[in-house]
Amino acid sequence: MATETSVAELDLEPFRRELTGYCYRMLGSGSEAEDAVQETMLRAWRASDRFEGRASLRSWLYRIATNVCIDMGRQVQRRARPMEMGPPSAPDESHLGPWLPETTWISPIADARVEPPTYDPAEVAVHRESIRLAFVTALQHLPARQRAVLILCEVLRWQAVEVATLLDTSVAAVNSALQRARAAMAGLPAESSPTHLDEADSELLRRYVDAFEKYDIERLVTLLHQDAIMSMPPFAMWIRGAEDIGRFMLEPAPSLCRGSRLLPVRANGSPAYAQYKPDPDGGYSAWALQVLEIADGKIVGFNAFLDTERIFPGFDLPAHLDP
């Protein structure tokens, strides 16, 4: 019989956003994170008669979510970014290769799905750093339980004793796992961290949108860092260098992006744009979600995620725009 603190009498929805952020860091996929949270809620409802209120509802939900993520993680290989799959390619579309399975890649998530309800600039900065594509990719190098410990302790600021209770282990084991996770993360290639976007960065983005929509590649190249990286999951091909990116965008297939429209969104704590290409039948069709990375007044990362059928619904974006 359910107690006074039964899940059946409590609203789980207030936990959805933070659980989605946790599951996203664990799994590296926006759509899988949404699925994991749904499964967590379902398991919680089914087990409501066993929730006796000895632990907080939040802790109990995180325990379920952790088990869900570990179970889901066993079914797929470690997700990565194209830059981990091989060396950069020449700016020639013949190097694109096959469209690889969605489970291969780290995929983006909308900030609105995971942002904490806070206006504290410091908290917002920490949150955005913890969902960056590079950081989420690095997390996937850790074993699942180490990953959970690092996220809970370092990102969510749980105490070791709380994590030990959640994972049914000792405080010593949690501290040991945290130490190993930190060492593993420190051994991965360092990437520049984004800064808070200032007025100059906002102007950079305005110029980028104008150059891209006019398909003025010569001008667009001037906005890129000389060592900028362009990736296009689910293709393994990636390109390094502003000049090579410019040359690639003038290849026959990429040139079909001429006349595109860009709609601003936020993804992974970064500026992003939904790209719609001209549709021969009229209007514009969804083509890519562009996630940009900015440092030192230049665009250093141009990540175009092409699986819009899977990604756009998570951003509440339509598949087609009218003229």
Return per-residue pLDDT of the chain as tens, 323 residues.
Answer: 334 445 555 678 889 999 999 999 999 999 999 999 999 999 998 877 776 655 688 899 999 999 999 999 887 778 999 999 999 999 999 999 999 999 999 999 999 999 887 667 778 788 888 999 999 999 999 999 999 999 999 999 999 999 999 999 999 999 999 999 999 998 887 665 555 667 788 999 999 999 999 999 999 999 999 999 999 999 999 999 999 999 999 999 999 999 999 999 999 999 999 999 999 999 999 999 999 999 989 999 999 999 999 999 999 999 999 98
- Is residue 298 one of the residues assigned to a domain? yes
The domain of 82 spans 7-186
Q: How many other C-beta atoms lie within 10 A of the C-beta of residue 202?
A: 11
- Is residue 192 one of the residues assigned to a domain? no
| 159 and 42 belong to one structural domain | yes
52 φψ region: left (φ > 0), alpha (ψ -120 to 50), beta (else): alpha
Domain boundary among 124, 151, 186: 186
Q: Which residues of 285-322 are buried (b: 16+ CB within 10 A; e: fewer)?
A: bbbbbbbbbbbeebbbbbbbbbbbeebbebbebeeeee
* pTM assigned to the model: 0.91
| 82 and 14 belong to one structural domain | yes
In this structure, what CATH number is given to the domain that contains residue 177? 1.20.140.160
- Is residue 193 one of the residues assigned to a domain? no
The SS3 assignment for 286 reads strand
| 57 and 119 belong to one structural domain | yes
- Is residue 191 one of the residues assigned to a domain? no
| 172 and 241 belong to one structural domain | no
Domain boundary among 186, 215, 250: 186
How far apart are the C-alpha atoms of 146 and 171, rounded to whole Å? Answer: 13
How far apart are the C-alpha atoms of 61 and 12, rounded to whole Å? Answer: 9
How far apart are the C-alpha atoms of 184 and 149, rounded to whole Å? Answer: 13
273 is written with which tokens? 């744009």
| 224 and 304 belong to one structural domain | yes
Contact 150, 135 (CB under 8 A): no
Number of domains in the chain: 2
- Is residue 230 one of the residues assigned to a domain? yes
- Is residue 232 one of the residues assigned to a domain? yes
| 213 and 314 belong to one structural domain | yes
